[in-house]
Amino acid sequence: MQEEKHYINSIYYQFELTAKYCKYLASQLLKKFECILSLEEVVTLDTIATNGEMCQRDLAKIILKDRPSTGRILNSLEQKGYIERVAGTKNNRLVRKIILTEDGKIILSDITLKIKEYLQNIPRAFSAEKIEDMKSLMQGFREILKNEVELNI
């Protein structure tokens, strides 16, 4: 394998640049759909919907945000009525678990449907099989990176 001379030629930079384009597109779509949620709030709602009720610390680890930033996102979502924090336990300790409200489920479903419909109209550069291969490769690469990165969350 050829050694990369510059960072911008590395796979790390290519992933970073692709992720930025995806983030810009998602933010623009939310604005186009006149969504009252930020991209971070949508990702947070979707993460809770996917993983079930969880505490703030576990959520922060999944969305890769520090706890104060995660707390601000959760405060905003709670004020809007899309989540609730309820008493629960984890490892025999009292914690506040985060759950989606019915309004949270409704707005997430609406946003997801709109984004999905929009993305289906973008011309496909890759077959469904290639897309699944890329997702699998990225997940594997991310697992390797997880073992190398120290997270202070």
**Whole-angstrom Cα distance, residue 125 to residue 78?**
39
Digitized pLDDT (tens) for each residue of the chain, 153 residues in all: 566 688 988 889 999 999 999 999 999 999 999 999 999 999 999 999 999 999 999 999 999 999 899 999 999 999 999 999 998 888 888 889 999 999 999 999 999 999 999 988 776 788 888 889 999 999 999 999 888 888 777
Closest CA to 65 of 94, 44, 86, 84: 44
Buried b (16+ CB within 10 A) or exposed e, 92-120: eeebebbebeeebeebbeebeeebeeeee
Domains and CATH numbers, the chain: 35-120 (1.10.10.10)
Model pTM? 0.85
